[in-house]
Amino acid sequence: MENKGLYFSKPRSMVDQIYTELAKAISKGILRPGQPIKELDLQNMFTTSRAPIREAIRLLEADGLLIVDNYKKKYVRPITLDTLKEAIPVMACLEGFAAKLAIEKITQEEIGILEKINGEIKNAFDQKDFFLCSQMNFSFHRAYVKLSQNATLIKAIRSIMKNTIWLVTTNLYYNESTLIPISIAEHLQIIEAFKNADPIKVENEVRKHIMNIIGRSSELSVFVSKDMLFPQTY
């Protein structure tokens, strides 16, 4: 795989390569929600030993992309539309509050970083690198959430992101890439609110931006029916 130097300054380890390839396959929908993942198949695919496969799986599980049941079987995490409808409003409230806290601490330099990241999303979109668009989108959100300097809030946001939002958003960007410019425009509204030091405006803009995910995602094939879930894993 071509390394454009955006994430790695040196050749990636086998674990990095396996993690990235599987994350992309999940985000593209090549590996479907609920689909079993077998270590032996991955060993044959990547022509490597079991150790890097297991470490990559551990990282994917930590990021909420894979689940492991009581019998140690691995699956791509299944998500229902009901799960998303429950998670998004909570995420919108938490991240909106984080942005409101961040506005008291954000500097012009940090606003510039937000603008730079948003520009990188646009460049990735122009190059049709939708996986990178997704990664940079999360970088944009993490940048101001971190500025809230509230460890409990950050932890809660990260938990919801890993368990639900990551998979849905990356799948959304692949299936409906025309929506990426809309996200970029909404980011600009958030940036403008930060520039104006308007805490109410920035909270509202962030909430609106995140709530829009429900409408944009409702038709995605990434969702599964409730009877496809694995109760023993939760």
For 82-128, write each residue's pLDDT tens digit. 878 888 999 999 999 999 999 999 999 999 999 999 999 999 999 99
The residue-averaged pLDDT of 202-221 equals 85
Q: Between these two residues, 223 and 136, which has the higher pLDDT value?
A: 136
Task: Go through 11-44 and write b for each residue having 16 or more CB atoms within 10 A of its CB, e for each that does not.
Answer: eeebbbbbbbbbbbebbebebebbeebeeeebee
Strand 66-68 relative to strand 36-37: parallel, antiparallel, unpaired?
Answer: unpaired
Residue 174 has pLDDT above 80, yes or no: no
Tens digit of each residue's pLDDT (9 = 90 or more) over 217-226: 766 655 655 4
This prediction's pTM: 0.73
What local confidence, expressed as pLDDT, does residue 160 receive? 85
> 153 pLDDT exceeds 70?
yes
Mean pLDDT of the chain: 84
The torsion defined by the Cα of 10, 121, 159 and 223, in degrees rounded to 10, comes to: -110
Q: Which residue has the higher pLDDT, 202 or 26?
A: 202
231 pLDDT above the threshold of 60: no
Strand order across the beta sheet in which 66-68 lies: 36-37, 74-76, 66-68
Asked if pLDDT for residue 3 goes beyond 70, the answer is no
Query: Given a cut of 70, is residue 50 above it in pLDDT?
Result: yes
Q: Domains (ranges, CATH) in the chain?
A: 14-77 (1.10.10.10), 81-217 (1.20.120.530)
Confidence tier at 9 by pLDDT (50, 70, 90): very low
**Max Cα–Cα distance, the chain, nearest Å:** 55
- Say yes or no to pLDDT of 233 above 60: no
What is the predicted pLDDT for the residue at 224? 56
pLDDT of residue 161: 82
pLDDT at residue 188 is higher than 90: yes
pLDDT for res 140: 96
Q: How far apart are CA 186 and CA 25, in angstroms?
A: 27
Confidence at residue 10, expressed as pLDDT on a 0 to 100 scale: 42
